[in-house]
């Protein structure tokens, strides 16, 4: 089990969001990685709040994450309107990049799951360029057949993965993480949606505003 969250959890449009800034969130993830506790990380933006209102399974999967980031500005605006002291937006991709930097520094074993095969290959190449010496212990595209899943889970564990990034659509990735986390030994499992596409350079990230 993960260490207790040092920050409160708010509810916005029925979705959980943790009231924490970037550095606190990163420090929480780091501490749990060092202690080998498992933390599942989810991201919430306006589209996901709407999706979760119609999809209880998605809402539950987010609730089960030990850390839920306010990934969209609309969440920050909604928090302000509701008087919730949410300090800032934390884009999932920024957290992923910060974690990769830590992985490079501390030699954490990283596994990437998701995106199209060619995109994933470009993502891996780009990450090697950005964080030279980083230990990517495995990668698997996100268009596998269901009967391949047991082998994929075995690969993740056999590689002694410490950080697993899951780039699938919504609600696929949230439900995937919720369902399979108990079978995975990684200390950090983070759902990142289109971030691999952004890192590979085939999709632009959302504008700052």
Applying CB under 6 A, the residues found at the interface with ligand UDP are 114-116, 142-143, 167-170, 193-194, 196-197
* 28 vs 165, beta carbon nearer ligand UDP: 165
The least distance separating ligand UDP from the CB of residue 27, rounded to whole angstroms, comes to: 25
DSSP state at residue 84: -
The least distance separating ligand UDP from the CB of residue 180, rounded to whole angstroms, comes to: 15
* 145 vs 209, beta carbon nearer ligand UDP: 145
- Residue 90: count other Cβ atoms within 10 Å of its Cβ: 28
The least distance separating ligand UDP from the CB of residue 116, rounded to whole angstroms, comes to: 5
* Contact between residue 163 and residue 112 where contact means Cβ atoms under 8 Å apart: no
Cβ neighbors of 21 (< 8 A, separation 6 or more) are 87, 88, 90
Tokens at 30, concatenated: 């780091």
* 135 vs 172, beta carbon nearer ligand UDP: 172
**Rounded Cα gap, residues 203 and 127, in angstroms:** 16
**Rounded Cα gap, residues 58 and 162, in angstroms:** 24
The least distance separating ligand UDP from the CB of residue 172, rounded to whole angstroms, comes to: 6
Q: Which residue is nearest to ligand UDP (CB)?
A: 142
* 60 vs 107, beta carbon nearer ligand UDP: 60
């Amino acid at each position: 089990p993960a260490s207790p969250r040092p920050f409160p959890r708010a509810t916005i449009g029925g979705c959980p969001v943790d009231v924490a800034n970037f550095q606190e969130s990163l420090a929480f993830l780091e501490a749990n990685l060092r202690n080998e506790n498992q933390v599942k990380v989810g991201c919430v933006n306006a589209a996901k709040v709407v999706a979760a209102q119609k999809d209880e399974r998605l809402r539950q999967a987010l609730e089960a994450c030990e850390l839920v980031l306010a990934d969209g500005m609309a969440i920050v605006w909604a928090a302000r309107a509701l008087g919730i002291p949410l300090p800032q937006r934390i884009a999932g991709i920024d957290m992923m990049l910060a974690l990769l930097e830590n992985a490079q520094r501390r030699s954490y074993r990283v596994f990437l799951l998701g995106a199209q095969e060619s995109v994933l290959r470009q993502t891996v190449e780009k990450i090697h360029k950005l964080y030279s010496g980083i230990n990517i212990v495995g990668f698997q595209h996100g268009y596998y057949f269901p009967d391949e899943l047991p082998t994929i889970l075995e690969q993740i564990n056999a590689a002694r993965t410490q950080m697993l990034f899951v780039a699938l659509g919504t609600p696929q990735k949230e439900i995937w993480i919720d369902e399979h986390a108990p079978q995975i030994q990684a200390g950090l499992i983070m759902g990142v949606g289109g971030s691999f596409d952004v890192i590979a350079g085939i999709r632009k990230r959302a504008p700052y505003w």
